Chains A and B, each alone.
Chain A
Amino acid sequence: MKNNSIFKLTFWKGVALLMLVIGGYSIFLRYTKGLGAVTNLSDQFSWGLWIGFDILCGVGLAAGGFTLCAIVYIFNIKRFKPIIRPTILTAFLGYLLVIFALLIDLGRPWAIWHALVMWNPHSVMFEVAWCVMLYTTVLFFEFSPIILEKFKLYKLLKVIKAITIPLVVAGVILSTLHQSSLGSLYLIVPAKMHPLWYSSWLPVYFFLSAVSVGCAMIIFESYLSAKAFNRQLEFSLVKDIGRWIVVALGAYSVLKFMDLLHEGKLKLLLESSEETYLFWLEVIVGIFIPIILLIVRKIRENRIGLFASAAFVIGGFLLNRMNVSITSIQTFSDYYYFPSFYEIATTLFIVTVGIIVFNLIVKNFKVFEEVPVHENKFKYIVIDGREALKEN
């Protein structure tokens, strides 16, 4: 039965196949003809779609992993446990794909290990490299119970469970560091970046927007998984996440506008330039609309309303990262960059691989299954002592 369904060609499978073929060819060209042949990158514009989307957006979209881990294990809000596995799976896959994308973008990908032995602690990139590497390892361990359970390796499972808390603490710290550091990458180019986006607060912006988009991704995925795998949506759970998004986006937007005010940049908001329009688009789509939608209880507690709000947050986030990495750099560069067909095809290839692998893992491993009953003694909901004792 299962095998038949895999080989049955549906519309979406056709699309995926097409993406894989075209993207695969683009990647083949990149390795045989060089970066110059397949990308529109130039000496004036050395970071394009692959850094802006595959890396900056990819890492941000995977931020749900550390956010939810902190909520469940550190702040002990255990009722979110049922959605932790799909979230960790997304994060783990996300980081693997980021590394994959990096291997395509690097001019000398075989030298990637140099970051391990040739240290430059003054480089933000060095810090990001180490954090991403360590955090991917942490995610591997956080994800491993899903595999260990499947193959009944209970002894190892016990070891992993015992170190859950240290792992989560390490994961949260590493994520805080590199999520914000992706913003710090741009601190060194004050004269090369449009002032609407350059700010000494860039690392904080990147962190706050990563937390909000991480939460939005949990909602977004929950909704899509419910549809795709015919499951009940953990609606009572994810609707509460909507409120956290309001808090994170609220802090993010206030900080952003306070800094514009403080730096005397408010007048830039009234200019009629491509940058100003794109800035407003990013802020309205990614901050104002979702905040308004999520504040209204009726919308927040409606499946479609919540899903739409999350989609807005994600859309605004993508716009922001593209604005920071491309729009803002474009201003003072005499080169007009637009990604080439091959760059776009490669990016779509990576996204497609992500979706396919997610599907395969969900279908073959217990990603969505609720935690078995005997583990409920690890539930830490703060309730009266009667129930706490009952569980023993």
Chain B
Amino acid sequence: MNKKKAILIDITRCIGCGACYEACKEQNHLPETSSDPLRDTLSDKTFTIIEQRGDYFIRKMCQHCDKPSCVSVCPVGAFEKTEWGAVLYDEDKCMGCRYCMQACPYQIPRYEWGELNPRVQKCVMCYDRVKNGLPTACAEACPAEATIFGDREELIKEAESRIRDNPDRYYPYIYGLNEVGGTSVFYLSPVSFEELKFNTNLPKKALPNFTWEALSKIPTIVTVGGVFLTGFYWLTNRKNEIAKERFQDEQEEISKSKTEGDITDEK
């Protein structure tokens, strides 16, 4: 449990049988939404799907980013990145602003639009199973070992060695290793990820950093702004005071010189 966990999905091995889809439904007690796993879409009742693109099958699910956007944007901290890698959601904190859905680079979080007390729903990396030392339900169910669960570092090594040992079979890139600062779900593919319509335009930089660059300036804005505004108030007010003082001085001088003048006149 101390070590970071991850999921490795090998597209060259996936046969599109839908065992992961069924296992996920069962594990999370989700109702049936489609008779054909290949035609279903992610929803508040479906946390993983398999999409067919040409000859290949691609699993879609939460990527459990290392620096997750959802964790960063949630105003009430309803999302949590656990030490071992899963991104979890706490419905008791959520107030339903849906910024997590807006911010997720993979468009994963789903909403219970039909509910009066709606929750955000997504894959939680089988938190209860992993806690007890078990692999995720999808990895356990996969008959082709296309989805495997394990320690993050070991899975990276495994992915690297697969690419190295079978250069003809694999496109030399591990998708998810560096996207948006790294995730916990890695993909290996026989063809380029662009061809499989993966989002290949994602920045390598962790997305919360984009926000933090702006947010971290707030203390400066508050302090400098406070000094500037108060200072400006003082300046514009002081101008009036000086004008008043000068006028009073002038008046005094005039009256002084008048009295002096009177005295000289007498002499």
Residues on A facing B (Cβ under 8 Å): 31-37, 41-44, 46-47, 70, 73-76, 105-109, 111-112, 114-115, 118-127, 129, 165, 168-169, 172-173, 176-177, 180-181, 184-185, 187-192, 200, 203, 329, 333, 380, 382-386, 388-389
Contacts and interface: CB of A to CB of B under 8 A. Distances in A.
Nearest to A392: B244
B248 A385 contact: yes
B65 to A, nearest CB: 12
Interface stretch (B7-15, B69-77, B254-262): B69-77
Contact of A115 (B69, B76, B237): B76
A75 B236 contact: yes
B42 A115 contact: no
Contacts of A380: 236-237, 240
Nearest to B113: A36
Interface stretch (B49-57, B135-143, B196-204): B196-204
A392 to B, nearest CB: 8
Given A123-B74, A127-B218, A191-B201, A35 B225 contact: no
B160 to A, nearest CB: 26
A124 B211 contact: yes
A135 to B, nearest CB: 13
Nearest to A117: B76
B164 interface: no
Given A384-B243, A388-B240, A187 B42 contact: no
A190 B204 CA distance: 11
A46 B222 CA distance: 32
A76 B97 CA distance: 40
A161 B148 CA distance: 68
B98 A107 contact: yes
B102 A46 contact: yes
Interface stretch (B22-30, B88-96, B149-157, B184-192): B88-96
A55 to B, nearest CB: 10
Nearest to A30: B116
B215 interface: yes
A165 B233 contact: yes
Contacts of B95: 106-109, 111-112, 114-115
10 contacts: A44-B107, A122-B72, A122-B208, A172-B229, A177-B221, A181-B214, A187-B210, A188-B211, A189-B103, A385-B246
A389 B249 CA distance: 12
Contact of A384 (B73, B117, B247): B247
A188 B103 contact: yes
B167 interface: no
B64 interface: no
Given A107-B95, A124-B211, A191-B105, 9 more contacts: A34-B115, A43-B101, A108-B96, A118-B77, A188-B73, A188-B103, A188-B208, A380-B240, A382-B236
Contacts of A333: 107
Given A106-B97, A123-B74, A124-B215, A386 B229 contact: no
A30 to B, nearest CB: 10
Contacts of B111: 35, 43, 46, 107
A177 B214 contact: no
B35 interface: no
Interface string B231-255: 0110011011001111110100000
For the complex of A and B, the 4 pairs showing the least CB-CB separation, nearest first, are A107-B96, A385-B247, A36-B113, A76-B236
B222 A125 contact: no
A74 B76 contact: no
Q: Name the residue in A44, A123, A188, A192 with the highest tally of chain B Cβ atoms < 10 Å from its Cβ.
A: A188
Interface string B100-125: 01110101011101111110000000
Contacts of B99: 123, 125, 185
Contact of A169 (B105, B221, B230, B245): B230
Nearest to B203: A190
Contacts of B207: 188-190
Contact of A389 (B98, B109, B248): B248
Contact of A123 (B73, B96, B105, B221): B73
B247 A389 contact: yes
A127 B109 CA distance: 22
B69 A188 contact: yes
A120 B74 contact: yes
A176 B96 contact: no
A324 B175 CA distance: 30
Nearest to B202: A191
A125 B208 contact: no
A192 B246 contact: no
B43 interface: yes
